[in-house]
Amino acid sequence: MILKSLRPYLTAFVLLLLVACGGGKGSSAPPPSDFAVVPGDGLVTVTWTATAGVDYWLMYAATSTPINLKSPPGVHFWLINVSSPLEVTGLTNGQPYSFAMDARIDGGPGGPQTASVTATPAASSPSP
């Protein structure tokens, strides 16, 4: 009886998983070749050349260790459907952060990620 009442919810959950994982629709896309991360005061600016029709997402973590999107570190953050230039704010000066990007077309699965890039935000020097 309980299983029958849960069936619509379980079905919706499975459909949500399929959509989130690509569900066979769309395709992966190559990552941008010119992915760059430039540190600033409490932030970084991420840039790349976008390809029309491609959705990009970024993962970052407070670590100097290279990150892998398929096996993320314990604490990490995802930014989805991002565009360049992207300013990631609220970061701690002096703390290294690693960044990696992935891409897909029409909701497909992610393809190979960019190389992991590490940047450390720092306070800017006062002007003379």
Q: Where are the domains of the chain?
A: 25-119
Q: Which residue has the higher pLDDT, 22 or 121?
A: 121
Name residues whose C-beta falls within 8 Å of residue 99's C-beta, 6 or more positions apart in sequence: 37, 44, 46, 58, 59, 60, 67, 88, 116, 117, 118, 119
In the predicted model, what is the mean pLDDT of residues 25-46? 95
What pLDDT is recorded for position 25?
A: 83
Q: Are 100 and 65 in contact (CB under 8 A)?
A: no
CATH topology of domain 25-119: Immunoglobulin-like (2.60.40)
Full-model pTM:
0.76
